[in-house]
């Protein structure tokens, strides 16, 4: 899997964790919220739509501007910092996809 954080990487992660608690559709009923963490700083942000509302799955539209490395012609994020990882928030604790899959 590529280290660059792109929409393709999200698709690959969803395929890798299909059928487990490592994807939103399999863990949202247990209180998990899709989120991202900057592993370099520890900062965690819930997944959001571009308008700032919470997203039920991982999307790049609402990530902090300082995490965006590249945008497409319409201004949508296409590449994030290499230090960004996808995971989930539950009771204010960040879980990686692997950790969420093990808990569910």
CA distance 81 to 90: 23
Mean pLDDT of the chain: 95
What number is the average pLDDT over the span 81-97?
97
Angstrom distances, CA of residue 19 to CA of 23, 30, 63, 98, 101? 8, 15, 26, 13, 9
Q: What is the number of alpha carbons within 13 Å of residue 65 lying toward its C-beta?
A: 1
Helix boundaries (H) for 1-104: 7-16, 24-27, 97-103
3-state secondary structure of 86: strand
Q: Taking phi first (over 0 means left), then psi (-120 to 50 degrees means alpha), and beta for anything else, what does residue 61 get?
A: alpha
State pLDDT tens for residues 1-29: 447 899 999 999 999 999 999 999 999 99
């Amino acid at each position: 899997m590529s280290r660059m954080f792109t929409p393709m990487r999200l698709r690959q992660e969803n395929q890798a964790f299909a059928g487990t608690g490592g994807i939103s559709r399999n863990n949202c009923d247990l209180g998990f919220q899709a989120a991202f963490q900057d592993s370099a700083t520890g900062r965690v942000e819930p997944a959001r739509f571009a308008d700032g509302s919470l997203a039920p799955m991982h999307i790049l539209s609402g990530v902090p501007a300082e995490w965006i490395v590249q945008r497409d012609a319409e201004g949508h994020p296409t590449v994030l910092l290499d230090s960004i990882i996808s995971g989930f928030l539950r009771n204010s604790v960040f879980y990686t996809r692997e950790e969420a899959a093990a808990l569910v």
